[in-house]
């Protein structure tokens, strides 16, 4: 009887742990970025002779859609990159550029990511786009039902990847208006494969007021 009680207790504890792992109780809490925080981020180009510049250059004139990539080799990140790239024709009509930032450059990982992403990619060595409060999902992610759903969705969509590079620091997507218009959309990945809604991205992009247009109305 004692062994049965221990077994039942262990099973109950495991079930409770699994239940809690599938709630938001233990998820890293995100902190919203301010425009001033994003503006001061140092980015680097990926050329042989990289240029360092402030992130505000990306959106100063026409605003921008920016993906903070969790890991270029991740098939879930490639899926989201393809989703955002599908918006490129409409973003081009609006005059809004599409960019991505990565936190590391390993071998050909960025180059291999580019077929999925139709915008320019920059290096954020200090991982500032993943802050102000950097969030991680560790191995708990692999017992979350939502993550497994995302795995199957991406696999069924024909996406594949590898395990190269750091993949626990969660990414996100920003839509930033021109000049001082501010952050129009901030999506923080809460678990592996938690994609931004492309419709929301496009709606936010339509709110961007290019600096040239603002000058003409004066």
Q: Kindly report, residue by residue over 64-97, the tens digit of the pLDDT.
A: 999 999 999 999 999 999 999 999 999 999 999 9
Catalytically active residues, by annotation: 74, 77
Whether 11 has a pLDDT exceeding 80, the answer reads no
Which two three-digit tokens encode residue 131?
A: 């802050």
Number of C-alpha atoms within 13 angstroms, CB side, residue 151? 8
pTM of the model: 0.84
pLDDT of 177 over the 50 cut? yes
In angstroms, the CA 148 to CA 193 distance is: 9
Q: How far apart are CA 206 and CA 56, in angstroms?
A: 19
pLDDT digits (tens, 9 = 90+) for 51-66: 999 999 999 999 999 9
Query: What number is the average pLDDT over the span 188-216?
Result: 86
Phi and psi at 19, nearest 5°, equal -65, -45
CB contact at 8 A, 166 and 103: yes
Q: Are 58 and 64 in contact (CB under 8 A)?
A: yes
3-state secondary structure of 188: strand
Give the C-alpha separation, 31 to 167, whole Å: 20
Q: What percent of the chain stands above pLDDT 70?
A: 81
């Amino acid at each position: 009887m004692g062994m049965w009680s221990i077994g039942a207790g262990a099973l109950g504890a495991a079930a409770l742990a699994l239940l809690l792992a599938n709630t938001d109780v233990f998820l890293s809490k995100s902190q919203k970025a301010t425009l001033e925080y994003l503006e001061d981020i140092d980015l680097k180009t990926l050329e042989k002779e990289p240029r360092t510049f402030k992130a505000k250059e990306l959106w100063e004139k026409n605003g921008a859609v920016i993906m903070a990539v969790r890991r270029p080799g991740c098939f879930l990140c490639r899926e989201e990159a393809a989703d955002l790239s599908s918006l490129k024709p409409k973003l081009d009509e609006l005059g809004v550029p599409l960019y991505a930032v990565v936190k590391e450059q390993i071998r050909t990982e960025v180059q291999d990511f580019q077929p999925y992403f139709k915008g320019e990619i920059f290096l954020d060595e200090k991982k500032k786009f993943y802050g102000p409060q950097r969030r991680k999902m560790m191995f708990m992610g692999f017992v979350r039902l939502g993550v497994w759903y995302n795995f199957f969705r991406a696999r069924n969509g024909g996406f594949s990847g590898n395990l190269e590079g750091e993949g626990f620091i969660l990414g996100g997507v920003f839509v930033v208006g021109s000049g001082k218009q501010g952050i129009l959309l901030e999506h923080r990945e809460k678990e592996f494969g938690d994609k931004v809604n492309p419709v929301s991205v496009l709606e936010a992009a339509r709110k961007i007021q290019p600096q040239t247009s603002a000058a003409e109305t004066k």
